[in-house]
Amino acid sequence: MKTKEFDKFFRDKIDSMDGVPKSAAWNKAATWERLNEAMTRRPSGKWYKIAAASVALFFVKSQKIFAAASFATKAVVVVSTVAVVSTTSVVVYNASTRNDNTSQNIVASDNRTNTTVAENKIEATEESVVETPVEDNTFSVVTENNSKRETVKTPEQGNKSTVTQPEDKNTVVETPVTITQDAPADPVVETPRSQKREMSLEINDILFKKNSVEVNPKSMTELNYILSLMRENPDLKAMIMGYYDEKEKDGMHLQSQRATVVWKYLVSQGIEKTRLNFGGYGASKKYSSKLEEGRELNRRVEVMLSE
Amino acid sequence: MEERLLKLFRDKDRLVHKLFYEHYADSMFRLCFRYLKNEHDAEDVMVTGFMKVFDHVKTFEYRGKGSFDGWVKRILVNESLMFLRKNHNFNMVPENYCKEIDEDFSPDSEISAEEIFNLVRTLPIGYRTVFNLYAVEGFTHKDIAKKLGISENTSKSQLSKARNAIIKLLEDNKMYLERTRKAGGE
């Protein structure tokens, strides 16, 4: 007998069966009662809604957990010293702002003169905030040994919404700092001054003209500022990231070309090639591209400096 | 009036469900019982499976004779597999074991359907599931691999082993052995 016939033999035999197998102790009527009860007891529709809602809730929760986990791993990788300088404002973000814990604002200032000054300024303000908590809520200041990350991001020029209060000549910005669940309950965390702090340095984006690789004249000051920073701090390395706005034709080409333009400029001004890294990062937008203003800000090259 | 109308709707549904159940219960119980270990599991799967049928019957499109039967069957098969996956894991070792059965062998055609049914039920879970899906339900190895989350080769080797296990069972069982030999000798 061949294999196919063998299978067919079994199929036919099983298909030809009728009724309930004698070996099975099964009560047909009882099963019907169960089924009938299950059908009538169930409120129509509602059951599914509850299920869908709980599934959605689970997804939200799991994503939160995932995000927190991924940030925790990133924090280990982050390069040591990072400070953020911009023409207008500085926002200090605690990377572990993922939990539902309370957040509170602290004030940071920035200074354009040089990196160390900016860093000191931030430290100083943080220190002052640590000593004088604004609210009763607890918060932590991020340090290296806490294995948390602190990134400092610059909003676009003229983004005044974050500015809360002027302090001397420096611009003052809102700084949300939150604690994670595993953070100590102690409201004040001491910051060891001797240690280098993990921060990321990001300069205002360099903007470009529409459909071209020409740098917007507004951004030349920004570019030169990066250059001066890199000259003063030989340890600094730069990551150059090119973007394009959604309405541009041939954006994939433009994004890398823009990064290359910045790269070429820095190299021509005497920055070592080994300190520069670049790539195209697509149409990921920072601002809505409905208006031309938003699109202008999306046609950009971001430069991230790290030590 | 509202309550009476609602009651009528429910009674009508109940009648339809009852008719459906009377028609399909036996065959579907047999189907579930082939996959699952005991009557209780089969009953559980039947209840959830039939509820699914009642819920989704409005979306079913009739495409000729037998299509509804096939649809109901498929739901019950999937429901059974879901139950199996929940309670056992098909941690079959992927392997490349594939052997045609011995052509000299042929089971006696006088074996009753019930005996065959019970024989298949005595197979280990992996063999039984793949044999049921491939030989009886007529799925392809590709479908089976997808359904069980195993590779196609694993499915093939499981089937091949299942066939040999059946032959061994037929031979081990004295009754079949004699008949088989007689059938082979004739």
Residues of B in contact with A28 (CB under 8 A): 25-26, 29
CA gap A187, A133 in Å, rounded: 9
Chain B residues closer than 8 Å to A16 by CB: 113
* Whole-angstrom distance, CA of residue B25 vs CA of residue B31: 10
> What are the pLDDT digits (tens) for A230-270?
888 888 888 888 888 877 777 778 888 888 888 888 888 88
Alpha carbon of B151: minimum distance to chain A alpha carbons (Å): 21
Pull the structure tokens for residue A3. Answer: 């294999």
CATH architecture of B2-87: Orthogonal Bundle (1.10)
Q: Domains (ranges, CATH) in chain A? A: 78-201 (no CATH), 203-307 (3.30.1330.60)
- Tokens at residue B90, please? 């098909």
Which residues in chain A land under pLDDT 50? 45, 73, 75-200
Q: Tokens 């649809």, residue?
A: B71
- Domain residue ranges of chain B, discontinuous segments joined by +: 2-87, 113-185
Q: Which helix (H) or strand (E) holds B171?
A: helix B152-172
How much of chain B, in percent, has pLDDT values that exceed 90? 9
CA distance A76 to A257: 32
Say whether A24 and B39 touch across the interface (CB within 8 A). Answer: yes
ipTM for the predicted complex = 0.80
- Identity of the residue numbered A250: D
CATH of domain B113-185: 1.10.10.10
Q: Which of B156, B140, B166 is nearest to B94 (CA)?
A: B156
Does the distance separating the beta carbons of B103 and A2 come in below 8 Å? yes
User: A33 to chain B, minimum CA–CA distance in Å?
Assistant: 10
| Tens digits of residue pLDDT in B77-125 | 999 998 888 877 666 666 666 666 666 666 677 778 888 888 888 888 8
The one-letter amino acid at A178: T
Task: Let me know if the fold of B2-87 is the same as that of B113-185.
Answer: no
pLDDT one-digit tens code per residue, A149-177: 444 444 444 443 333 344 444 443 444 44
Minimal C-alpha gap between B58 and chain A (Å): 15
